[in-house]
């Protein structure tokens, strides 16, 4: 199985809704590449990612591998910011992403409430 990703432009940021399953590092990188293309097309780099309908079946090693590839490609210098509403059944995996990305100077944070996510995103 794979995932579906759709976008909506809001006032100052992009909302991405992701559903389905991500179970390989390549799929996670494909999702991120799609986000990068959307940022370039829209000239916006702030994302509210609604991933409450996504199952993230990755191990810590997979997440670190993805973070390393993003760092190698200098994604951190693009200045993007992502707030993520995650599937409650996969909080551990999302917290691992948050830590791995943060350690590579990528601006990514996991939230439970949309209002909190938008406030952080727009500050």
pLDDT of residue 1: 65
Give the pLDDT confidence of 1-31 residue by residue, as tens digits: 699 999 999 999 999 999 999 999 999 999 9
Q: Categorize the per-residue pLDDT at 78 as very low, low, confident or very high, splitting at 50, 70 and 90.
A: confident
What is d(CA 6, CA 53) in angstroms, rounded to the nearest whole number? 12
Give the pLDDT confidence of 35-68 residue by residue, as tens digits: 999 999 999 999 999 999 999 999 999 999 999 9
Contacts of residue 118, Cβ cutoff 8 Å, sequence gap at least 6: 13, 48, 83
pLDDT of residue 102: 95
Residue 61 burial by Cβ neighbours in a 10 Å radius (0-12, 13-18, 19+): exposed
Backbone angles phi, psi at 12, to 5 degrees: 95, 0
Q: Residues 53, 92: contact at Cβ < 8 Å?
A: no
């Amino acid at each position: 199985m794979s995932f579906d990703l759709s976008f909506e432009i809001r006032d100052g940021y992009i909302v991405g809704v992701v559903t389905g399953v991500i179970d390989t590092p390549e799929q996670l990188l494909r999702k991120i590449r799609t986000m990068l293309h959307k940022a370039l097309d829209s000239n916006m780099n702030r994302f509210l990612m609604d991933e409450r309908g996504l199952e993230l079946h990755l191990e810590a090693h997979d997440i670190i591998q993805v973070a390393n590839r993003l760092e190698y490609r200098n994604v951190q210098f693009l200045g993007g910011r992502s707030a993520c509403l995650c599937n409650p059944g996969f909080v551990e995996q999302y917290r691992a992403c948050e830590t791995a990305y943060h350690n590579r100077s990528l601006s990514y944070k996991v939230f439970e409430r949309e209002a909190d996510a938008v406030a952080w995103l727009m500050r």
